[in-house]
Amino acid sequence: MKIHAYAKINMALDVVSEREDGYHELKMIMSPISLHDLIFVDIINEGITITSNSTRLPTDERNIMYKVAQAIIDKYEIKQGVSIHCFKHIPTQAGLAGGSADGAAVIKAMNRLFHLRMSYQDMVDLGVKIGADIPFCIYNRIAIVEGIGEELEFIDTEYEADLLLVKPSRGVSTKLCFESLDMDTALHPDIIGMAESLRNNDHKGIISRLCNTLEKPSLEMVPEIDTIKQEMISIGFDGSLMSGSGSCVFGITQDPEVLERGFQYFKKRYGFVRKSKIMNFSHK
């Protein structure tokens, strides 16, 4: 079975507070985007095997796809196993939820292959224990996301925009990014305003509210993040922002000529440069 694993961007990300359990309370607006990995899942006699076109991807129990597959096998007492091949397009340490997207795709595929009749909530409940972004990637709908990623409030919108994704060669460790965050000086985006702008398809309102609390500590580790942002604006993109904990930056526009101009400029300078677009799977 072939299934698409869609990446995400954070159009706004607020680190609200630090929790007693060591995690951080987050409030975000996340959108699926057209960039995706291709996941192939098949039933085998026993065990879990993972292969990939990417040499950076672990293929043992450290892999999030392995973890969700094992969790499903254990929960539903499945006697057979699965072979998983991941054709990677989403870069690692980018803030695009590549790992969670892959994990969510495997959950969906195994649900169908083994006729488990898991509801969306069943899939979310299983996935959230393994990856914070898995619940969002299960639904693939523009949403306000809270808690550590398990609380979703969907936003009904017909908003469309093109994206240019540019990632510096250096990634950002999510753990180090959070550890470097100074809550006393942190920026806090207007999440409610961004949600309202999306509901109203208000492009200018969306652009004015692009903000990410984690951007400052990340660009201190990878200064190129800020360089890319500034270059995107000078090229003509309406807005630019780092996604998640980075290091991928997206430029947002509704002008195809700006998208192409940016693509031609950045593809000569960085290894990962991709055209993409805002997606919303509200029909699913």
pLDDT at 282: 59
pLDDT reading at 187 higher than 60: yes
Asked if 3 and 237 touch (Cβ cutoff 8 Å), the reply is no
The CATH number that domain 2-154 falls under is: 3.30.230.10
Q: Give the per-residue pLDDT at 66.
A: 98
Element at 36 (helix H, strand E): strand 24-44
Residue 6 CB coordination number (10 Å): 22
- 47-58 pLDDT tens trace: 999 999 999 899
Which amino acid would we find at residue 136? F
pLDDT, tens only, 150-179: 899 999 999 999 999 999 998 888 888 888
Paired with 28 in beta bridges are: 13, 145
Out of 8, 27, 88, 167, pick the active-site residue. 8
User: Token digits for 275?
Assistant: 């055209």
Quick one: angle between helices 224-235 and 256-266, nearest 10?
140
Q: Confidence class of residue 280 from pLDDT cuts 50, 70 and 90?
A: confident
Integer Cα distance of 257 and 262 in angstroms: 9
Which helix (H) or strand (E) segment holds residue 26: the answer is strand 24-44
Q: Is 133 annotated as catalytic?
A: yes
- What whole-number distance in Å separates Cα of residue 275 and Cα of residue 187? 28
CATH 3.30.230.10 residue ranges of the chain are 2-154
CATH code 3.30.70.890 region(s) in the chain? 162-277
Mean of the per-residue pLDDT values of the chain? 94
| Segments in the chain forming alpha helices (H) | 64-75, 98-113, 120-127, 134-139, 174-180, 191-199, 203-208, 215-221, 224-235, 256-266
Distance CA(268)–CA(215), nearest Å, equals 24
- Token pair 């809270």 is at which residue? 146
Query: 105 pLDDT band (50/70/90 cuts)?
Result: very high
37 among known catalytic residues: no
pLDDT at 284 over 70: no
Active-site choice (14, 37, 133, 162): 133
CATH T-level fold of 162-277: Alpha-Beta Plaits (3.30.70)
Summarize pLDDT for 32-71 with one digit per residue, the tens: 999 999 999 999 999 999 999 999 899 999 999 999 999 9
Q: Against a cut of 0.85, is the pTM above it?
A: yes
The stretch 5-27 carries a mean pLDDT of 86
